[in-house]
C-alpha cells in the first residue's frame, strides 16, 4: 500500500539519454537513479518494457513477459567481452532527441546476434537457471523464430497452417529446424533480464521504487494469443477475433479509439481461477515494485467492437469479471502495490470497484481545467488515496496543452494556479501537484524541463510516437536541487534534508 506522502518522475527507459539511439539499461539509467536521489524522489515510473511490435508502442508487444531487446546496453556487453569496441563504431546517432526505430531495427539485431555468438557458451549455469525459471520463454523464442522465418509476418499470416494452429508435428519440426534462432531469442532475453535486475537492485538500494505499467490488453500478434488461444474470444478454428478492444466516442475522439486487441474469454478464465492472469502479473511483479493497471475500468465493463470495423463507434458494453477478479489480485499478490488507471468514462460501478480494491486511482491536472471547478481532477477535489499527475504519457506536457487550450480553460487555469503566461505555467502546475492531498505526485520529466508539444510521448490513434528522449545535460544538478526543494517544501521527501 502506498501510504507515505511522496513524489516521483515519469521517464520511460527509451527516453533516457544515450549515444546509441535509444535509452538503455546502462550507465545513464544508473545516473538517473542518482538524479532521483538528489531530487528527493521516491519513485521512478516507466512505461511497459516489453518487446515492441509494429508501431513501436510499448502497449502492443510480442509478449507479455519478454523484455525489449533495444534496451540491452551495448557498452555493458562490450565490458563483458561480448562485443568489441570496433563493433560500436559508426552506430552513434546524430539526432539524440528522438528514437529512430527504423535505424534501430536495421543495426541493433546484428550486434545482438554477434553478442549471442560470443556469449552463447559463456554462462551455462546462469543461462540454464534463467530458462528453467521462466516457463514462458520456450513459446516466446519459438514464436519469434518462426516469425523471423516467415519474414516477421503476423502469426495469422503464416503460410503454414500447421504451425499457426500449433499442431504437434509442426511444433517439433520447427523446434529442430530453427534451433539456432530459438537459442538466440532465449539468449537475448537472458541478457535483458540480467541487466534489468542489476539495475533494479541498484535503484532499490538507493531507496527508489519502480512503477511499471501493465497494459490491460495484449497484441493480437503476440506469443500469448498464439500459444493460448482458448483464453481469448477467437474463432477457435481460424483464430480470428470475434470482437476487439477499444473505447467508445467521447470528448477526446468522435470515432472512439479502436485498439484492435483481442478480448479475453472471461468465462474460460474464471473456470481455471484466472491462472493466465496470475502468471502474467507474477512475471511483471518481479520487475516492478508498483504496478499501474492500465484501463482498470475494463475489469468492470469493456467496449467490444465487431472485428473488421474501421473505428470504435459500433460497439457494445460487456460485463467484465469485476470484484471476483479483483479479489484474486488482492488475495494472491498481497505484497504488490497497485495503481488503478481509472481514466475515461467512469461511472458508479467503476467507482465502486475501485473503492472495493482499495487501489489508488489517478487524478490528472490537465483534465481538471473546467471553469466551474467540479471535476474530480481539479486539485481542490483530490482525495488522499490517489496519484496526482500533471499529465500522462498520452497528453501534451502542460506548456503544450496550454498553447492549445480554449480561452476559458486558459483563463481558469491562470486564476486557479496563479501563473501569468505560458512560460511559468509548468512551475505553477508542479507546485499545485506537489500541494495536492494525494499520497503520491508524479510529473513527467518534460514538465520539469518546461517542454512543449514537441516532447509529447504519445498522441493516441496516430503513428510515429514513443520517440522523445531527454538529452544528457537535462539531468543537471541545478534541476535536481530545484526539485528537491519543492519536494521537501511540500512534505513529499523520503527523509528530512540535512
Question: Does residue 431 have a pLDDT over 80?
Answer: yes
- Cα(first)–Cα(last) distance of the chain, in Å? 28
- Domain 6-489 in CATH 3.20.20.80? The answer is yes
- Closest Cα to residue 152, out of 181, 190, 179? 181
Domain ranges (residues) in the chain: 6-489
pLDDT tens-place string over residues 323-380:
999 999 999 999 999 999 999 888 999 999 999 999 999 999 999 988 777 899 999 9
Looking at 75, 160, 309, 394, which residue is catalytic?
394
Q: Which whole number is the average pLDDT over 171-196?
A: 98
Mark whether 341 is an active-site residue: yes
Q: Is 294 a catalytic residue?
A: yes
Catalytic residue of the set 243, 341, 447, 493 = 341
C-alpha cell at 10: 515519469
In 234-300, which ranges are E strands? 243-247, 257-262, 290-293
Judged on CB neighbours under 10 Å (0-12, 13-18, 19+), 175 is middle
**Given this model, what pLDDT does residue 496 score?**
59
Give me the phi and psi of 334, to 5 degrees please. -70, -20
Q: For 75-84, what is the mean pLDDT?
A: 97
Nearest to 62, CA basis, from 196, 176, 170, 153 = 153
The grid cell for 187 is: 539468449
Instruction: Place 94 in a pLDDT band, splitting at 50, 70 and 90.
Output: confident
Least confident of 23-27, 111-115, 383-387, 410-414: 410-414
282 in catalytic set: no
Choosing from 34, 78, 87, 294, the catalytic residue is: 294
Amino acid at each position: 500500500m502506498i501510504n507515505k506522502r511522496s513524489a516521483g518522475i515519469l521517464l520511460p527507459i527509451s527516453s533516457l539519454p544515450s549515444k546509441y539511439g535509444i535509452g538503455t539499461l546502462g550507465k545513464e539509467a544508473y545516473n538517473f537513479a542518482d538524479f532521483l536521489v538528489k531530487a528527493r524522489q521516491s519513485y521512478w515510473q516507466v512505461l511497459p518494457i516489453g518487446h515492441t511490435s509494429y508501431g513501436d508502442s510499448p502497449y502492443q508487444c510480442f509478449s507479455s513477459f519478454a523484455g525489449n531487446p533495444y534496451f540491452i546496453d551495448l557498452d555493458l556487453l562490450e565490458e563483458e567481452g561480448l562485443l568489441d569496441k570496433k563493433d560500436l563504431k559508426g552506430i552513434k546517432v546524430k539526432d539524440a532527441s528522438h528514437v529512430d526505430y527504423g535505424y534501430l531495427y536495421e543495426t541493433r539485431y546484428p550486434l545482438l546476434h554477434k553478442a549471442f555468438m560470443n556469449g552463447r557458451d559463456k554462462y551455462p549455469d546462469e543461462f540454464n537457471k534463467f530458462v528453467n525459471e521462466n516457463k514462458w520463454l520456450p513459446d516466446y523464442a519459438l514464436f519469434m523464430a518462426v516469425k523471423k522465418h516467415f519474414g516477421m509476418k503476423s502469426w495469422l499470416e503464416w503460410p503454414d497452417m500447421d504451425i499457426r494452429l500449433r499442431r504437434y508435428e509442426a511444433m517439433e519440426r520447427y523446434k529442430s529446424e530453427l534451433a539456432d534462432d530459438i537459442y538466440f531469442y532465449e539468449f537475448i532475453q537472458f541478457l535483458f533480464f540480467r541487466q534489468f535486475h542489476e539495475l533494479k537492485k541498484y535503484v532499490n538500494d538507493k531507496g527508489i521504487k519502480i512503477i511499471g505499467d501493465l497494459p490491460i490488453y495484449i497484441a493480437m500478434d503476440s506469443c500469448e494469443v498464439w500459444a493460448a488461444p482458448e483464453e481469448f474470444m477467437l474463432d477457435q478454428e481460424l483464430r480470428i477475433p470475434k470482437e476487439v478492444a477499444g473505447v467508445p466516442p467521447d470528448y477526446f475522439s468522435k470515432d472512439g479509439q479502436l485498439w484492435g486487441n483481442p478480448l479475453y474469454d472471461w468465462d474460460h478464465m474464471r473456470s481455471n481461477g484466472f491462472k493466465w492472469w496470475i502468471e502474467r502479473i507474477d512475471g511483471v511483479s518481479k520487475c516492478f515494485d508498483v504496478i499501474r493497471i492500465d484501463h482498470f475500468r475494463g475489469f468492470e465493463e469493456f467496449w467490444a467492437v465487431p472485428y473488421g470495423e474501421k473505428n470504435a463507434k459500433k460497439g457494445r458494453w460487456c460485463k467484465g469479471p469485476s470484484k471476483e477478479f479483483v479479489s484474486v489480485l488482492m488475495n494472491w499478490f498481497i505484497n504488490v502495490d497497485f495503481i488503478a488507471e481509472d481514466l475515461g468514462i467512469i461511472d458508479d460501478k467503476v467507482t465502486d470497484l475501485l473503492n472495493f480494491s482499495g487501489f489508488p486511482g489517478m487524478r490528472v491536472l490537465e483534465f481538471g481545467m473546467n471553469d466551474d471547478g467540479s471535476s474530480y481532477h481539479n486539485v481542490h477535489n483530490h482525495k488522499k488515496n490517489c496519484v496526482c499527475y500533471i499529465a500522462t504519457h498520452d497528453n501534451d506536457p502542460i506548456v503544450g496543452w496550454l498553447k492549445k487550450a480554449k480561452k476559458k480553460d486558459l483563463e481558469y487555469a491562470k486564476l486557479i494556479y496563479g501563473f501569468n503566461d505560458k512560460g511559468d505555467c509548468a512551475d505553477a502546475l508542479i507546485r499545485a501537484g506537489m500541494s495536492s492531498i494525494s499520497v503520491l505526485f508524479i510529473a513527467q520529466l518534460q514538465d520539469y524541463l518546461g517542454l512543449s508539444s514537441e516532447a509529447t510521448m504519445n498522441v493516441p490513434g496516430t503513428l510515429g510516437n514513443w520517440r522523445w528522449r531527454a538529452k544528457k545535460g537535462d539531468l543537471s544538478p541545478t534541476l535536481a536541487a530545484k526539485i528537491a526543494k519543492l519536494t521537501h517544501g511540500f512534505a513529499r521527501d523520503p527523509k528530512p534534508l540535512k
